């Protein structure tokens, strides 16, 4: 039996949200954003263990106000994150043991579905590295520094990548250690494996799987919640 572990990242500062508390602890309707995110992985029968990565100084708050309060028994550990997202991921990865497939997910994406989670595991086992996402709805252009359009990209080839991003554990740990040692900056985890020539399979996520980033997203989140009844 494989062991599938979820790494949920909640160690950011949420600067673009502009609130005094980390955005993951803000409510959408009755519950904090991080509650919905952990609930989705807790309820999935495919997930054996969850690690939550939080900011230094927020460990007790997260334990008391989220994990103990809602009785999330699959959460095995709360780990302290790092300065950038990639440092938080590495800290989380190091805390896992006996893991075959790891799903790395933004704590700020509360509406991930069971299908997205099980597909992540399926494709990670098959291809080693995978991420979900959606096709962009807008036309995407490259803009030069003077504000003019340089060119229009082919929409059918573009893909907006979301999380979860799932990997064979040994592969992602090794690649994260390497980018860390080499001082390479990355914005997501698929870039980490691509850096060393590994292929990443992209599968269909959902337009509901938003990352709550700015205050408008809380409003959008309410509508999604209403629709999903979660
Ligand atoms: N994250 C993290 N550790 C960091 C930075 C980000 O664990 N050092 C997490 C965030 O908590 C979030 C996810 O990575 O769930 C995606 O990052 P983002 O949406 O950029 O969140 P923040 O960095 O918190 O927001 P902002 O960039 O607006 O400050
Ligand atoms: Mg950020």
Ligand nearest to the CA of 162: 1
Give 146's DSSP letter: T
Collapsing DSSP to helix, strand or coil, 222 comes out as helix
Question: Whole-angstrom Cα distance, residue 111 to residue 218?
Answer: 12
- CA-wise closest residue to 58 among 49, 66, 50, 48: 66
Under 8 Å CB-to-CB from 22, ≥6 apart: which residues? 10, 12, 13, 14, 55, 58
pLDDT in 10s for each residue of the chain, 230 residues: 569 999 999 999 999 999 999 999 999 999 999 999 999 999 999 999 999 999 999 999 999 999 999 999 999 999 999 999 999 999 999 999 999 999 999 999 999 999 999 999 999 999 999 999 999 999 999 999 999 999 999 999 999 999 999 999 999 999 999 999 999 999 999 999 999 999 999 999 999 999 999 999 999 999 999 999 75
Contact 198/192 with Cβ under 8 angstroms? no
Nearest residue to 215 (alpha-carbon basis) of 19, 30, 10: 19
Beta bridge partners of 143: 149
Residues with CB under 6 A from ligand 1: 9-16, 24, 53, 81-85, 88, 106-108, 211, 213
Nearest-CA residue for ligand 1 atom 1 is 12
Cα–ligand 1 centroid distance for 108 (angstroms): 8
Distance 136 CA to ligand 1 centre (A): 22
Model-level pTM greater than 0.95?
A: yes
């Amino acid at each position: 039996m494989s062991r599938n572990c979820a790494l949920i990242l909640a160690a950011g500062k949420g600067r673009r949200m502009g609130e005094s508390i980390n955005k993951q602890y803000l409510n959408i309707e009755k519950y904090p954003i991080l509650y919905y995110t952990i609930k989705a992985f807790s309820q999935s029968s495919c997930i054996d263990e969850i690690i939550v990565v939080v900011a230094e100084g927020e460990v007790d708050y997260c334990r008391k106000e989220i994990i103990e309060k809602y009785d999330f028994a699959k959460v095995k550990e709360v780990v302290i994150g790092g300065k950038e997202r990639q440092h938080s991921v590495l800290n989380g990865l190091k805390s896992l043991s006996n893991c075959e497939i790891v799903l790395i997910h933004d704590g700020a994406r509360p509406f991930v579905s069971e299908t997205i989670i099980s597909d992540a595991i399926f494709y990670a086992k098959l291809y080693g590295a995978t991420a979900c996402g959606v096709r962009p709805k807008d036309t995407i252009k490259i803009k030069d520094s003077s504000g003019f359009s340089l060119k229009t990209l082919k929409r059918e080839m573009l893909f907006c990548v979301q999380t979860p991003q799932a990997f064979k554990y040994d592969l992602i740990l090794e690649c994260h250690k390497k980018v860390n040692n080499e001082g390479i900056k990355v914005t997501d985890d698929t870039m980490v494996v691509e850096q060393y020539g590994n292929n990443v399979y992209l599968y269909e996520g959902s337009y509901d799987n938003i990352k709550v980033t700015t205050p408008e997203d809380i409003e959008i989140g309410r509508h999604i919640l209403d629709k999903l009844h979660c």
